[in-house]
Amino acid sequence: MSLHHSLWLAAVGVVLTVAPLRAGEVDKYLPDDTEMVISVNVKQLVESELFKKNIEAKAREALKNSDDVQEALKDLGFDPFTDVERVIAARPAGAEQDRGLLIVHGKFDLDKFLAKAELVAKDQPDVLKVHKVANGAGGKFLVYEVALGEQAPPVFVALPNKSTLLASPGKDYVVDALKKDKPALKNK
């Protein structure tokens, strides 16, 4: 069975077997123009028997097969199987490719992420650029522009705190999310 097929089955199985979900709080980082939200409780998915039986070994093996990924995860002090709690994908209406925001809640060692970003930006400026954006309170936010390849548009990433990572193909979506202190959806 392919990894893609296994992931799909695991996701469907988790959705069908978990207790009914309650409406949760609106994430403060959601863009104001959000029309569609997909929220995945990664921690619950990874802890499910379906994931453990059908996907975990293959996923861990896939990560082990890339020395670059292993080195990056080690440098960041990050384990995607234990450190990610929830992933939220938010999109506005329309088909524009640079709209939307990915919000990852979990555990991030800010010092290690900042050190790795600084090193990569210095050694590989074509892969990572650091943008300093005014935060409105006299300070600056750090927004990272990550080049994914010649054919793909860059992704902008920021870590507002030790439990949140924001990513979007639109820099303005990341900057706007960083400036939010509460949800402000236009279509309530």
Structure tokens at 125: 């400026």
Position 20 confidence tier, pLDDT thresholds 50, 70, 90: very low
Does the pTM surpass 0.75? The reply is yes
pLDDT at residue 186, rounded to an integer? 66
Residue 69 belongs to what H/E stretch?
helix 67-76
Is residue 12 assigned to a domain?
yes
pLDDT at residue 182, rounded to an integer? 72
Q: Kindly give, in sequence order, each residue whose CB lies less than 8 Å from that of residue 89, ignoring residues fewer than 6 positions away.
A: 37, 38, 39, 100, 101, 102, 103
Is residue 105 assigned to a domain?
yes
pLDDT at 7 > cutoff 60: no
Is residue 186 assigned to a domain?
no
Number of domains in the chain: 1
pLDDT at residue 63, rounded to an integer? 87
Domain that holds residue 52: 3-18+27-178
Position 183 confidence tier, pLDDT thresholds 50, 70, 90: low
Q: Mean per-residue pLDDT for 93-116? A: 91
Is residue 97 assigned to a domain?
yes
Is residue 11 assigned to a domain?
yes
**Contact status, residue 130 vs residue 116, Cβ threshold 8 Å:** no
Question: Which segment of 4-18, 64-78, 120-134 scores lowest on mean pLDDT?
Answer: 4-18
pLDDT at residue 114, rounded to an integer? 94
Is residue 111 assigned to a domain?
yes
Is residue 165 assigned to a domain?
yes
The three-state secondary structure class of 15 is: helix
Percent of the chain topping pLDDT 90? 62
CA angle 182/40/75 to nearest 5° reads 85
pLDDT at residue 9, rounded to an integer? 47
Is residue 47 assigned to a domain?
yes
Structure tokens at 58: 């293959």
